[in-house]
Structures are given as structure tokens and as C-alpha cells.
Structure 1
Amino acid sequence: MEVRWIGVEPPRLGPPYTAVGLIFSLLLGVWSAQALEMIVGKIPFLEAVNGSTVMLPCTYASCIGIENLYFNWQFNDNGTMHKVCDSVITAEGVVPDVNIYRDRVEFVGKNIKNNVSILLWNITFEDGGLYTCFGRNPKEKYKNHSAIFNLIVVDELRVVDNTLTIMIASAVGGAIAAMMGFMLLKNFTIFVLAKLEEKNKECLVSSSGIDNTENGLSGSKADSKPTPKKK
């Protein structure tokens, strides 16, 4: 159905409506920033030796809190996702009853400080790959988020050669030390030159006074003798 305006102009959205739209967009952005976030740490990978025990870290964050938060860990096996464990956390601080679907897996998060990490015992090369920590929070209109952690299983840990790093650090440190030494020497030289210039000025003033005395100028010793009276 088409609406026609007869005799009057249709209303236009002026500056007040534009401001309201801007405020609404900002509020929407703030709400989005409060959404659930799953975090696997600043370094989302780990290189571990075959046969060792490792922890896959994961914590969740939500500015408005959680309620019946569902989370799980999944393993990517050549493109096929296999569930490792899952559970529901009813409220903050409640320790969840976790279902384990894979051997040698232990839930160690206990929901302490929003922690939902797991432990892998006696890892093998088949355990290496991508693990996804997933969460969904009904309190935030079922907002969900996931983070990926990469586990790399090796025969032995490689020895990292830090020679180049040490050389670079030494060169940078040497350059900084040389610059500081140059600045100190420069300041000392400027100070000495200023002192010498000041001393030269004093010498010039003294020499000028001596010359005036010898030439018999006003204010010198020659003016101190009285003029002889005429008889």
C-alpha cells in the first residue's frame, strides 16, 4: 500500500534523529563488546614432546555474567570435528559436571576464575592438531564465541639458537651506550668552553683597566696628582 502526502511535505529525519541513531549505534557497539568471549591465551599454540602431559588453556569472559553457559572442546581430525568434552555451567562459581568423550582427557578448569581448561595425559602424535574451545551464553541472547588452540607434538624439543638475538641485543646496547657517552662528552665540552669564555671575558676586562691606567686616562693614577698653582 502506497502512502501519499497531500498538501504537506513528508517528514524528514533531521539532526535530532541523526543524533539518536548515532547514540543507538554506540550503545549497540557497547552491547557487542559485552558479548561472550572464549580466550586460549596470548600464545594460542604449544609444542610438546610425545608422551608428555599438557594443558589446553581456555577461559571465558562476559561483562554481564553467565547463566546456563554451554561450553565444549572439539578436536579437528583432518576436517572432521570430534567432541572432546562438554558441560553446562548454571551460574558463576558453580563447578560443572563435565562429560568426557575422549581417552586421557581430564577437565581441570573447575570454573575457578572462569576457567574451563582441560588436561591431555600421555599425548601421542595423533593428539596433535587444532582444538576448539566453544561457549554459548543464553543470558546474552545465546551469544556464542570460540577460540582455537594448536597442539604440536614432536619427538624432542628443538634447542633455540639465540646467537643472533644476543648479537642484535649487544649491538643495540652498544649503540645506546655510545650515544649516551657522546651526549655526556658533548655536555662536558660545552661546559668547559663556557667556563673558558667566561674566563677570557674577565681577562679582557682586567686588561682594559690596566691600559687605561698606563695611558693616563680619566680615572687613572695620573689624574690623582694635583695641578700646580701659578704664582
Structure 2
Amino acid sequence: MEVQWVGVNPPRLGPPHQAISVIFSILLGMWPSQALEMSVGKTTHMEAVNGSTVMLPCTYASCIGIKNLYFNWQFNDNGTMQKVCDSVIASEGVVPQVKIYRERVEFVGMNDNNNISILLWNITFEDGGEYTCFGRNPKEKFKNHSAVFTLVVVDELKVVDNTVATIIASAVGGAIALLMGFMLLKNFTLFVLSKLEEKNKECLVTSSGIDNTENGLSGSKADSKPTPKKK
């Protein structure tokens, strides 16, 4: 069956390799959207005592690999982003040469397992705030990715009052113990009742046999005597 095009020119698909290259280009354009990911872990908030040393965690992950990955740490100083450190990682496993821009900062990631964490020594109240771990991978056409970690500096860590939790746990434990005790008592009671019922049945059977013997009924000893013969 021949298809006729009315009013329009038939489409030109071109050579097969051109169509494949177009599809491949589209896929490449969509793939990098999730290729690089910066992560500070599941806990993005930390409280630390003034004068202590803390680590700000950050790792990166890429499903297409990296090449000349640029990363940095930035500190949000009342709306102004101040660079803490930065570097370029040439390829996977290469230890970067990190440049530090802020005092009491040490790079401790060493790119081991894609780790680019930093250490803050002898923190002060001025060190509290938001720290952004930033990354840009040329393989993704220089798309930017970042993750934020919040540091709160305090005089002393608050002691968590577990009184309410302890009361709740005790109440729940007591309720469970009471329920288990009730179930054990119930099972024991049912067991005793079943034994008493069996004993009552045995008594009834024995009593019935005794009555039959005394009354000379069929099956008793009175019936077992033979009838004397007449002479």
C-alpha cells in the first residue's frame, strides 16, 4: 500500500547515522543533569562548643566521571559569600593542591572516596553560620552543584532531658509486662479448668459403674450367678 502525502512535502529522514547521532546528542544533553552531586551527609546541622575543633563533611559523586573538577568551600558572612578554600581535581583518585583563604582551616578530604571535607580549628562564635560545598564538572558543560552545612557555635552543649522519654518507656514496658502476665494467668486458668473438667468426667463414669453394681443391673456381679436347675 502506497502512502500519499497531500498538501505537504514528505519528511526527509536522512541517513540512519544522522538520526542516531541526533538521538545520542539528546541523551547526552539530558544525562548530565544528575551526573554530579555534592553531599554533606544526612545531618546538615551541627552544634559545637566554642574553642573546639570540628569537621565539615562533603563528598561528591558522578556517574559519568570527572575531569578537572573544580570545588570550593564558601562561608556565608551576613549575606556575603567568602571563599574558604578551593582547588581542581584533575581526575579520580588524584590528591588536589588546595588553596586556603581563611585562618584555622585545614583540608582533610585528600580526595579519598571522593572526600573533600575540611577541618575548622579552635572555632569561635564568628565561625558559626552556613558553609557551602560547591562543585563544577567540565564534563557536564560546567553545571554547578552545591550542598549547605550549618554550624552553630555555643558556650556549652545542652543536656537533653530524657525524663519524659523515660516515663513513656516505663509506662509502655509496664503495660507490656501487665499484658503478658494477664495472658499467662489466662492460659493457666484455662489449663486448670480443663483438668478439673476431665476429673469430673472420670468421677461420673466411676459413680455410674458403682450404681449399676449395687442395683443388680445387667453387667453387674448379681447377674453373673447362674440360675439353679430344678430337680
TM over 0.5: yes
Structure 2 gaps, min length 5: 8-26
Q: Are the equivalent residues in 1 in contact too, given 2:104–2:120 (CA < 8 A)? A: yes
RMSD: 2.9
Q: Are the equivalent residues in 1 in contact too, given 2:32–2:140 (CA < 8 A)? A: no
Aligned length: 207
Distance (whole Å) between structure 2 residues aligned to residue 175 and residue 33 of structure 1: 53
Runs of 4+ in 1 over 6 A off after TM superposition: 31-34
Change in 2 beyond 3 A, CA 1:195/1:156: same
Q: Who is 1:193 aligned against? A: 193
Superposed displacement of residue 56, structure 1: 0.8
- Structure having the higher Rg: 2
Matches within 5 A, 1:22-61: 35-61=35-61
Distance (whole Å) between structure 2 residues aligned to residue 213 and residue 143 of structure 1: 106
Change in 2 beyond 3 A, CA 1:225/1:135: farther
Distance (whole Å) between structure 1 residues aligned to residue 37 and residue 59 of structure 2: 8
Q: Who is 1:89 aligned against? A: 89
Determine if the alignment matches structure 1 residue 70 to structure 2 residue 99.
no
- Write the letter of the residue equivalent to 1:39: S
- Write the letter of the residue equivalent to 1:135: G
- 1:167-220 per-residue CA deviation (whole Å, 9 max, x = no partner) reads 222222222222222222222222222222222222222223323333333322
Determine if the alignment matches structure 1 residue 169 to structure 2 residue 166.
no
Q: Are the equivalent residues in 2 in contact too, given 1:129–1:152 (CA < 8 A)? A: yes
- 1:137-182 per-residue CA deviation (whole Å, 9 max, x = no partner) reads 4445656532221100112222222222222222222222222222
Distance (whole Å) between structure 2 residues aligned to residue 90 and residue 199 of structure 1: 89
Q: Are the equivalent residues in 2 in contact too, given 1:34–1:64 (CA < 8 A)? A: no
Q: Who is 2:212 aligned against? A: 212
- Write the letter of the residue equivalent to 2:70: Y
Percentage of matched positions with identical amino acids: 83
Q: Which secondary structure state, in structure 2, belongs to the residue aligned with residue 186 of structure 1?
A: helix
- Write the letter of the residue equivalent to 2:117: S
Structure 1 gaps, min length 5: 8-26
Superposed displacement of residue 53, structure 1: 1.3
Distance (whole Å) between structure 2 residues aligned to residue 213 and residue 100 of structure 1: 112
